[in-house]
Amino acid sequence: MTEIRRSVERYQILRMRETHADLIASADYGPLCEFFFNDIYAPRDFRKRDEAFHTLARKLKSAIPERVFGGIAGLLELSVISDALDTRLAAALRTRGCTADFTCEEFEDAYAACDNYALRIKQIALVDSSLEFTHHLSQLPSIEWITKGAVRAAKFFHVGEIAEFLEKGSLAFRRVPDLTVFRAAMRDRETKYVNRLFGKEEEAGVRALPRRM
């Protein structure tokens, strides 16, 4: 991974932390944000983990519910699309003569120049569906048994990265009974950001958290 590619990921994490500062500060949603920024989208190489997901899903496909398998597939698709988008954006920055110390203006110009609005909107949709899927699993009465079984399977197939991911994700999501406000805020704000950079008409305003949060 090149330095400019790492800078793209770091920049976007910082931008999202600023956009969703109230979610991060929330006692309920803060742990979800940290899980997202550290374990779903982060300036790290997730290829080994994603390969482990492929291995585990392939070996356990016949033994796990279709919805669970579909959810894992969605997480993998999100990872693939995010990787492709960041690679394309880093290439656009290099083409425009930018270095890893690019400015906000240079980043946004290159972002728009990629001309991949539909894929950006799909990325947001995949983030939303992945949040819904992970939350759904965490709220199941048998989730502790399911998680422990998945962790044992992950260790048996020598894909320990998945064991850690499952345990951390289950803990972060389990404490939040309703994810509606969190998902709506993430979806609306990210859509508004993408629309602004591509010069699209706004379709959703920024949704603030209730004052009690």
* 34 phi, psi to nearest 5 deg: -65, -35
Name residues whose C-beta falls within 8 Å of residue 144's C-beta, 6 or more positions apart in sequence: 170
Mean pLDDT across the chain, nearest whole number? 79
Taking the alpha carbons of 137, 143, 144, 149 in that order, is the dihedral positive or negative?
negative
Model pLDDT for residues 112-125, shown as the tens digit of each residue: 999 999 999 999 99
Model pLDDT for residues 153-182, shown as the tens digit of each residue: 555 544 455 556 666 777 788 888 889 999
State the pLDDT at residue 105: 97
Q: What is the residue type of 114?
A: C
Closest CA to 166 of 136, 130, 134: 134
CB 159 within 8 A of CB 55: yes
| Angle in degrees, CA 146, 67, 145, rounded to 5 | 5
Model pLDDT for residues 74-101, shown as the tens digit of each residue: 777 888 899 899 999 999 999 999 999 9
What is the mean predicted confidence (pLDDT) over 118-144? 82
